[in-house]
Amino acid sequence: MRIVPHDQDGGAFFIAVIHKLSLLNENQVIKVRKTENLLSKNRTVKLQEQCQHRIVSEVLDDNKLLDEQTKLSVANQTSKDDNLTEVKMASDVEYSQTESGDRSRRMDKLDYQHKWKGIDPVLFFKDEAVIKNIVSFFGIEESFSLEGHLVTRSTDNARRIYYVSKAVQDILELNIQVGEQIKIASLGVKMFERHRSKDGCSCAYRLSYEGLSLLFPYMRKRILHASPVDFQHLLQYRTINFARFADARFGEEAASMMPGCCVVVLREGYQIADSIASDPSPIAIVCWRGRATMNVLVSPADRKELLEYRFGIKAFKVEDEKSNKNIDALAEESL
């Protein structure tokens, strides 16, 4: 099955399902093992050659440095000022050691960059303090475990956190054990994103609309229920002042909530909150409770789709993608 890009006659991502029809016989097993042993030997020989080449090059570099130091020391010994000679030699030795250390660090950095050239590594997100803060802030039930299922593609600052299943988690752990031989282009569902808002939010991460359907059934905090009119207005206008909601009670609930990310759920008619919580597929969006406004953190394309699907509004004009390219910036626009 072709995934992306599906409208072009060129390279693309594909999903292939491979079915095993029968077990291997003894002769086939022997051939497979011989092939595996041969490949393993070839990899070992190649690795040894690379290591030897690197060691030889380092030895040559060290010998070159020693020759230069020897020449400098002989020249300095002919100088009349012995004190200046000692200072000169000491500084040369210190410089050569610093240069050697810098070269080693550069080599390690180049090796790391070459290893992940064109693709970001997959790292397990193990910051327990941050995970506990997210669980507490959104009221995530213990039955939906986050520990061991969160990964990031950032080496220094986890701006985006993805959720992976147990099967994918096992594959990642095995891949790490064998030296990360598999380079992964994409995985998981984007669940959390770091925000830069200064509204005084106690949680450093906000929810992602992509992972909302997976996480929402296990959330018990930061949930508001809007009438169809207010829900439609949020999708259309993206930012609404608390006092301008059609349902005054909804505006009061939004105003009384602590600043930060929240989820707004569509309340159908006289539907009560308990029935919405038990609904396996409610219509919900991610929002940001600002200082005096409620801001929708959903892309224009997704908002348009919801308006057409639920309210039958097809005349909605998608806003300029340049001004909405970074949805994370919407949280900073709160007044």
Instruction: Quote the strand ranges of the chain, DSSP E.
Output: 123-124, 150-152, 160-163, 189-194, 205-207, 223-226, 239-241, 260-266, 284-289, 293-296
Listed as own residue / partner, the contacts of 99-102 with beta carbons closer than 8 Å and 24 or more positions apart are: 99/65, 100/62, 100/65
pLDDT along the chain (335 residues), means of 10: 67 80 82 80 71 57 59 54 47 51 56 62 91 95 93 86 94 89 88 86 93 94 94 93 93 94 84 51 91 93 89 66 45 45
Spell out the residues 6+ positions from residue 92 whose beta carbon is closer than 8 angstroms to its own. Answer: 69, 72, 73
Interhelix angle 26-77/82-115, nearest 10 degrees: 160
Q: pLDDT at position 4, please?
A: 66
**Ranges of CATH 3.10.450 domains, the chain:** 119-220
The dotted CATH code for 119-220 is: 3.10.450
Q: pLDDT at position 142, please?
A: 92
Instruction: Please state the pTM of the whole predicted model.
Output: 0.62
Q: pLDDT at position 38, please?
A: 80
C-beta separation of 151 from 123 below 8 A: yes
Q: pLDDT at position 224, please?
A: 95
Q: Where do we find the tokens 């348009």?
A: 304
300 upstream amide cis, omega within 30 of 0: no
C-beta separation of 197 from 331 below 8 A: yes
CA–CA distance, 269 with 251 (Å, rounded to integer) = 17
Q: Where do we find the tokens 């200064």?
A: 198
CA dist list (Å): 258 to 200, 253, 277: 9, 10, 21
Could you tell me which of 142, 139, 140 has the C-alpha nearest to residue 257?
Answer: 139
| DSSP line for 194-225 | E----S--S-SEEE-GGGHHHHGGGB-SSEEE
